[in-house]
Every structure is written in structure tokens, then in C-alpha cells.
Structure 1
Amino acid sequence: MMRRSTLLSMDAFSRAEDDVRVRTRAGAYVTLACLVTTVFLLLSEYRQWNTIVSRSSLVIDREHGLKLDLRLDVTFPHLPCDLVSFDVLDDSGVLLLDVDDENNHFTKTRIDQRGEPLDAAAAASFKLDAEAAQLPPTDPDYCGSCYGSRDQTRNDELDPANKVCCNTCSSVREAYLDAGWAFFDGKNIEQCEREGYVDKISQRITEGCRIKGGVRLNRVQGNIHFAPGDAFRSARGHFHDTSMYDQTGSLNFDHIIHHLSFGPSVDNMQSLEKASNVAIAPLDGKQVLPRYDSHAYQYTYFTKIVPTRFEYFSGSVIETTQFSSTFSARPIGGGTTETATYTSGGTPGLYFNIEMSPLKVIHKEQNKISWSGFLLNCITSIGGVLAVGTVVDKILYRAERTLLNKKQ
């Protein structure tokens, strides 16, 4: 009997008999208010649990063998496609000179002075017989001069197959590059005059160029750049034949960046804010079109690339990058302005200096609250509403009883 009494004394949910309960109109209103409030809070908790958010974390990048998928779309309004070259250099020793269109999926589109692409008829207005331009004259004994850029003094002693010859305009240009000589526009060079190279350059000198495409890069520090003339490398370093650019003052590297990214886009990630998408391609739409003479200017973007992983709620994963960039415009002749003093040297062009971050950002889609958190919040909401309702009901009941006693 004692044990039962002890156990009953521990009942925290003691109940009164129905015949001693007092039901009031105020209590009914409080009950209805509690029910409405409880339903509203439970629906709110469900929406919170069903909401997908993106949570970010920062880790050391331990991925190996991944590449940077460079994707760019740049317009040069005052530089013809024939005079611009695109090179890639990195600290691992990889060197890509004048990146090939076919192998790296780049296209060059000629544009007019208004920035509009030339239609097929206009693009073909300068017509060269492509086959004749790439082949030597029909004379089988023809051996074109290299104009001193290569040693041809012993040609008379050699068989025709072993002679040093420059039979086309392109072979003369290559010989000039190997010798480190300025080629200019090919004027007075018999091969270039015959093939129409001189006319080609003079007719297109007022055009612009839009370069679009992509290439895979190593995840190491380096730079990609657009520079005038053909690129060549010697014991002294990496150079460009800027002779034609230097003698034409109307040319410059003013540019419009339509798109630049180092990885795939994640525009379809539901929970990401727009700011996250902008960080993947923050330079999109940037225009550098100064009103001053920018012929002898070098434009440089110092980019800091952060590897980024986006983990979707569905389970799919995208490896990409985000980057920040700082812009600099420097006259290669040096000089002093109101804000800075510049050193002389360098080549006109558009440069992107790349620096990789050792850290990786992970954006992961998940429920705003966990399942256990949802249940706990529901129980808390119900208990809180009942507790507040009980207090309000007691206050109203006591107030009602007090008023009735005063009237009596």
C-alpha cells in the first residue's frame, strides 16, 4: 500500500473530476486561439524543414589532377584578328603559343567598326586563292629567298630537297620570327606580295575581333594573355613581333569581356543567392574603352581563383571555381600620374595573371533544419502554446470572478 501511494505521489499529470471542472466562455476563446496558433506554428515549422538552403564550408583543397576549364568571350574593337595572338604560360612549364583554333575550340570573328560581325559576303570580300596562297609557284626549281633570316649561301651545293627555302609568305614570317626580326606588313617581300598578304593586312587594319572558346589549364600559377603579332620564344624569354602594331597608332587593346570563367556555371542551383553566381564570372560585361590614346597600354587582371564545389540536394556534384580580380592599366613607356608612378617596359596587350588558392569552398544544399530539429520544434511549439494558454486562461478566470464578486 505504501509503495502504491509513493508511486501515485509522483504523478505530474493529476486530473480533476469532470463534475468539479468549470468551463467558461473566455476559456473557449483561449482554446480556439491556442489551436489556431498551434496550427500556424506547425505549418511554419514544416515550411522551414522543407526549405532547401546552401551552407558553405572552407577546407584545404586536396584534389589532384583536376584542370581549370577556361571559358572566355572577349571583343577587341580596334584590333584585327590577323594581328592578335592568344598565349598560355604557367609555372609548371606548359607553354601554348598562339593557341590553335581547332584543337582548343576557339573561334575568331571579324567585326566592323560598329562592333557588328561581318556577314559571310563581307568576310569573303578579301578573296585569296587559299590553295595558291599556301603553295609555291608552279616552277619546280623555285626556291624563295628568306631575305637573310636564314643561311642560304650553300643552296647551290645542295640537292633541291635539302635546300633552305622560304617559298611562302608564312615560311618567311617563321624565318623572321626564328631570327627575332620584325616582319611588319610583308611589304616588298615577293612571296607576301604574290599571295596578297600585304593587301589583306591593309584592308583589315580597321576591323575588330571577337575571340570565343575554351581551353583546359593546369591548376597552377601562370598567365594567359592576348598580345599583338606572332609569339616566339628565345633564350632571353617570351616575345611577340609587335612591328606591325607599333607602326599603326590606331590599334589598341581596348576590350569588352562578355564572359570569363574557369569552370562550369551553376545557375540552376536553387538555393544559391545571385552573389554566388556572380563570383563565378565577376568580369562578365566589363568594358575597358578609355577616351585617351591607349595604343601603348598594357591591361592586366590579377585574378585569385578559389576552387569551389557545389553539392546539390539531389546528390549531383559540380566542381568549378570562383575568382576575384583586380584591374590595372599601365603605359608601357612609364611615367607619372596623379595617383601612381609607372615603370617602363613590357608589351601592349591584355593579360590575366592567375593565382590559385590552397583552400576550397564547398556549397552544400540541404534542408534548413534537420528531421529531429523539426520534431523538437513542433513539440516545443505545442508545449509553449499550451503553457501560455493556461496562464492566460487563469488570468481571465480570476479577473472574471473578481468582477462578479464586486457586483454581488
Structure 2
Amino acid sequence: MAPRRRLTTFDAFSKTVEDARVRTTSGGVVTIVSSIIICLLIVSEWRDYRQITNRPELIVDKTRGERMNINFNVTFPTIPCDMLTLDVMDISGDQQTEISHGIIKTRLGPDRSIISSESLDLLKASESAPHLDAGYCGPCYGAIPKEEEGKRCCNTCDDVRNAYQEVGWAFGDGTGVEQCERENYPQRVEAVKHEGCNIAGHFSVNKVVGNFHFAPGKSYTSPTVHVHDLNQYSSSDVVHTFAHEIHHLSFGPYHNGIINPLDGAVKHTTERNFNYMYFVKVVSTRFEKIGQAPVDTNQYSVTSHERPIRGGRDEDHKNTMHARGGIPGVFFSYDISPMKVINREERPKSFGSFLIGVCAAVGGVLAVATVIDRGVWEADKALSRKKTI
């Protein structure tokens, strides 16, 4: 029993005899108020523990050789889909002309209604061209060098158009070209001239400085110049314009934490020869959420410029307004920032900090309540003594 007696000398929580305890009304009030305060403080500590904060961090982007997806959805209400071309080029020399993979073009009526798929089928050239003789070799109308005559054939309208493109000649609507008239190409051009186009999809680019643009006509690229065949666009009796609406434009995977500044942008013009330029600054962004896999994407800022084109005709190459004043269209020039933003979710408190906070709240409230209860008790006894004197 001696060891137990020694331990009692260290007891900091001395006990009182049950019979010696006095319960008062004031003590009950103080206990109830203290319990409520303790519960509120514990709830507050729990909320602080469960709270998630977003801590942004800016670092140098050290990634190399990455590619980036560009997602878009744009409507051109006064340009037929057959006349619209999407080209991409970057500072590394990579060029993608007349992109079609991953792209959906939707033909729109003058009231922006979607033209049915039956109408699309009726206008397919492959279904309107008759069977050709096995020995048939169509002319290219001087669009190939003389030394290649007889060795190269232009059997379809697209073959003639491609031959014209290679030598930088304007093509027009195909009138007077045997292959095109056989495929009813002039009639198709006439049938769609009042239509609009919605073009949507995605394409992959090198993560370097570059640009992509929507312009009229087939494109032609040489080591020194990039031009478009604007003959059909500029000579049409219908005034086509590059008025447009950008429904969506983003760089990289979707994330709900990113606001794309060009989404919903609308531009109107009544001029045929008009140029829109968007200068985009792309910043790599990483989202790290608690309990989820990290998401690497991009956000961007943008400035825009628009101007009418005052151009002319290049008679040497039979192209219309291809270089002197610029090309009508919508151009997006993007630059890649060398910095990377990391948005990291964190909990400001650990579970241990939560427990410490709860203990501090309980102990502090009980200590203050004890002082208050003792003070009320002593004051009540003093008043009682005065009344008995």
C-alpha cells in the first residue's frame, strides 16, 4: 500500500466528498451556457479542419516536347462550309493545311437552321460522278509542267483544283472545267452560296508559338508565303463575310476551374474583306485536388484587333487579294508562357491540430466558467451574511 500512498501526493485532481458538494441555480446556468459554448467551439474547429483552401504557386515550366489540344466551336453565318478552310502552322515549321481529322462541319441555312443529312448526301460529288473509262486521262488545263503532260492525269474536279493549288492559281467555281461540270460542281457552289457553317472539333499542335486561322478557299504554302485561293469568295454575287460567334475556345483538357475569355464572343461586319486577329497568351496550369488525380491543362488571356483589308489582285499567280493587304478571315496567334501555375488544394489544419483545438476550447471554457461560478457563489454568500446582520 505504500506505493499507492506515494502516488496520491501527485494527484492534481483532488476529490471532494459528495455530501460536501453544494449545487446552486447559478451553477446550473453557468454549466448550461458553458456546454453550449463548448459545442459551438467544437463545431467551429471541425469546420476549420474540414475547410479546403486553394494555394496557387508559380513555377518555371520545364516540360519539353509536349503537344497541346486546341478545342473550338465557331459559327460563320454567311460562309458555306465548302468555302471555309482551317490551317495551322507554328514557329517550328510544322504546318497542317485544310485540317479535316477531328473536325465537324455543320451546314446552316440562312436562318441558322441545321440542314438535314439528306441534303448533305444529295450534294456529294462522289455520288454524282459517272463511271469513267479505265483509259481515261483528264486534262489539267496547263496546271502541270509540260514535261509531265501525259504522265499525270486530272480525272476529277478535286484533281484539277489540287493541280491549280500546287502552281498557285485561282480556281473559281469550276465553270468550263470538264471534270467539274461532269460532277455538277458549279451547281453545288450555286446551291450552297446562301448557307452558313458551324465548325467544331479539336486538333493537336506543338506546344510552341504558332497560329491557326479560318480563311476562305484552298490554301497554298511555299517556303516564303502562305496564300488562299480567294477567287470564289471575292467574285461571288453573294456578299460573304467573316462575321462569327465563338461558342468555345480552350487549350487542353476541360476543367471547371478555368474561365475561357473568348467563349460567347460575337463579331459582326458587313464588309467582305475583313480581318480579325486574336492574340492569345497560353499559360500551363495544373490542378491538384485532394483525393483526385492531378489535371494538367492550360488557361489563356487574349487581346483582339480587327481591320478592313485594302488589297488587290496578283495577276502573276492569278490569285485574288492574297498578300498585299492580307487575307480575310479569323486568325488566332498563340504564344506559350514560360511559367506554370499550380493550384494546389490543402487543408489548413491536421487532425492533431483539430484535437488540440478541441481540448483548448473545452479546457478554456471550463476554466472561465469555474471562475465565474466561484465569483457568483462568493457574492451570494456575502449578500446572505449582510441580510442576517
Q: When the two structures are superposed, what TM-score results if normalisation uses the length of structure 1?
A: 0.80
Give the % identical residues: 37
Partner of 2:146, secondary structure, is coil
Contact kept in structure 1, 2:70 and 2:203, CA below 8 Å: yes
Q: Which residue is 1:284 aligned to?
A: 263
Contact kept in structure 1, 2:286 and 2:343, CA below 8 Å: yes
Q: Which residue is 1:236 aligned to?
A: 224
Distance 1:40 1:120 in 2: 64
Contact kept in structure 2, 1:152 and 1:165, CA below 8 Å: no
Distance 1:139 1:23 in 2: 114
- Give the alignment of 1:151-300 within 5 angstroms: 151-152=145-146, 155=149, 160=150, 162=151, 164-248=152-236, 250-267=239-256, 276-277=257-258, 279=259, 281-288=260-267, 290=268, 292-300=269-277
Distance 2:291 2:299 in 1: 22
Contact kept in structure 1, 2:37 and 2:365, CA below 8 Å: yes
Q: Which residue is 1:340 aligned to?
A: none
Contact kept in structure 2, 1:258 and 1:286, CA below 8 Å: yes
Give how far 1:131 is off: 7.2
Distance 1:385 1:151 in 2: 97
Give how far 1:22 is off: 5.9
Distance 1:131 1:119 in 2: 19
Distance 2:369 2:28 in 1: 11
Distance 2:129 2:146 in 1: 24
Tell me the matched-pair count.
Answer: 368
Give how far 1:350 is off: 1.2
Is 2:80 aligned against 1:85?
no
Give how far 1:89 is off: 0.8
Give how far 1:311 is off: 2.0
Distance 1:218 1:72 in 2: 17
Distance 2:119 2:136 in 1: 38
Q: Spell out, residue by residue over 1:289-323, the C-alpha distance to the aligned partner (whole angstroms, 9 max, x if none).
A: x2x41422212222111111122322412211111
Give how far 1:251 is off: 0.9
- Structure 1 counterpart of 2:69, one-letter code: D
Q: When the two structures are superposed, what TM-score results if normalisation uses the length of structure 2?
A: 0.84
Q: Which residue is 2:303 aligned to?
A: 326
- Give the alignment of 1:4-403 within 5 angstroms: 23-99=23-99, 101=100, 104-126=101-123, 128-130=125-127, 132=129, 137-138=132-133, 140=135, 142-146=137-141, 148-152=142-146, 155=149, 160=150, 162=151, 164-248=152-236, 250-267=239-256, 276-277=257-258, 279=259, 281-288=260-267, 290=268, 292-333=269-310, 345-397=325-377, 399-401=379-381, 403=383
Unmatched 5+ stretches in structure 1 = 1-7, 268-275, 335-343
Partner of 1:392, secondary structure, is helix
Distance 1:115 1:12 in 2: 87
Distance 1:128 1:241 in 2: 20
Cα 1:329–1:393 change in 2 (3 A) is: farther
Cα 1:260–1:13 change in 2 (3 A) is: same
Q: Which residue is 1:270 aligned to?
A: none
Give how far 1:395 is off: 4.6
- Structure 1 counterpart of 2:207, one-letter code: R
